[in-house]
Structure 1
């Protein structure tokens, strides 16, 4: 059964939530001309935002991280987006030599060996490329929702990251049903892995299908404690002792790939 059949439901206030999300994006595009980017993970939520940006011709760049460990279905979605919306995604990859050195030292799947190595892998493959995506940007857009996990239960519509950039979460108050109702209503392309009970999709070694009743993000880093289940992309001021990931956004930005 498809994710649309399972989850797409019209709920009270849906049209208002869509209008509010669009208004936030329109305002941000005006306030940060040429300096705003959607950092898309290519998940269902981010596909909704990409559709809103493209459908309404908003001047917001769209960037994604190709970590070198993504599922083939996820990588293929990049081309599908570009073809469907006639736009070019900014694709950021980890530094090749840094990856070669890391793999030589720790193996292809070090994430299973320790929390420290898993976070180091996320830092190399996700956080450092994100720092290049956000270079010279004053604002960025994410698909964070309060419903995704307890750790994200207080996600605001607008916040600031550790570097003072505006961080926008236009779907903060959307439900999972809202996301899929929008996808169904506008025929939005999405990752077919969602049809395989993967609501949250990251790198292939760190993603599995979930069972009925499990938390949305229980399929990510399932071997770790719940408090550690962030890669650092959306963690501010967290320490290793707190189970968070130290943000690489505070490190010097290198040239883009």
Structure 2
């Protein structure tokens, strides 16, 4: 892996031929849930969100298995494989879903391959509508440098919406200690499309996460041992100083801390 430390040094941007605010033709909006499912999900959140707020991961996932009759997707960033292991034990019928943005570190893609080989669950690889060269040609070279919000929208937010169609909810790896913005993240929530949003490790610290990885001999993304406690796309991820906010290496140099999936 090429260490991308230091100031951002991108190839000079090529002017865009299309406004980045305009998504490519064929972009699919989020598939609406049936009204009865939306109402059921809302009732589940109203009834159980408070009691699950500080619950353990196993309790939350067992609750999901018991109370959510529809299919769930376990979203995996491949930063670590804790959610894959927990879901294999507690939600074996759920699919895994990985946002394959086209910009991942090779190490991250290798973890995805290892997850697919180790676990029995189906791994759905959600890809953007445009390849990286197609995006460069249409929106200008290195959109992640000129308009990272638009790049994240087209390569993460919109693909997730398109691929979430079959599912009544999704399992996330959000943790409250990731950043101040996530300090009050609920364990059970509902997203703007009416789908359940379940975060079983929301109370975990980075130390507890690493202990679970070691205890269960999980697949490890080697970048996490090289100063990258939070791993996103390669061009927009930097090393983090010891003791710093784990997400401070994301979108270095920009006033941006979230990709839009959770905001």
Which residue of structure 1 lines up, in the alignment, with residue 13 of structure 2?
A: none
Which residue of structure 2 lines up, in the alignment, with residue 183 of structure 1?
A: 213
1:35 aligned to which of 58, 71, 79: 71
Distance 1:110 1:96 in 2: 13
Distance 1:158 1:19 in 2: 10
Shift of residue 18, structure 1, vs aligned partner: 11
1:165 aligned to which of 171, 195, 209: 195
- Give the paired residue count: 211
Distance 2:91 2:171 in 1: 16
Unaligned runs of 5+ in 1: 1-16, 236-257
Distance 1:102 1:191 in 2: 28
2:59 aligned to which of 7, 23, 27: 23
Distance 1:185 1:169 in 2: 21
Counterpart contact for 2:61–2:91, Cα < 8 Å: no
Distance 1:78 1:168 in 2: 21
Which residue of structure 1 lines up, in the alignment, with residue 121 of structure 2?
A: 87
Distance 1:172 1:86 in 2: 25
Counterpart contact for 2:228–2:238, Cα < 8 Å: yes
2:137 aligned to which of 100, 104, 128: 104
Which residue of structure 2 lines up, in the alignment, with residue 13 of structure 1?
A: none
1:155 aligned to which of 173, 178, 185: 185
2:162 aligned to which of 107, 132, 155: 132
**TM-score, structure 2 normalization:** 0.75
Aligned-partner SS, 2:56 = helix
Aligned-partner SS, 2:225 = helix
Counterpart contact for 1:29–1:58, Cα < 8 Å: no
1:73 aligned to which of 80, 96, 107: 107
Distance 1:125 1:32 in 2: 29
Which residue of structure 1 lines up, in the alignment, with residue 82 of structure 2?
A: 48
Unaligned runs of 5+ in 2: 1-52
Shift of residue 71, structure 1, vs aligned partner: 0.5
**TM-score, structure 1 normalization:** 0.77
Aligned-partner SS, 1:96 = coil
Distance 1:36 1:215 in 2: 30
Shift of residue 19, structure 1, vs aligned partner: 8.0
Which residue of structure 2 lines up, in the alignment, with residue 123 of structure 1?
A: 153
Instruction: State the Cα RMSD in Å.
Output: 2.0
Distance 1:187 1:72 in 2: 21
- Could you report, residue by residue, the CA deviation over 1:40-59 in whole angstroms, capped at 9, with x for unpaired residues? 11122xx1111011134632
Counterpart contact for 1:139–1:167, Cα < 8 Å: yes
Shift of residue 86, structure 1, vs aligned partner: 3.4
Which residue of structure 1 lines up, in the alignment, with residue 8 of structure 2?
A: none
Distance 2:122 2:242 in 1: 37
Shift of residue 88, structure 1, vs aligned partner: 2.9
Aligned-partner SS, 1:231 = coil
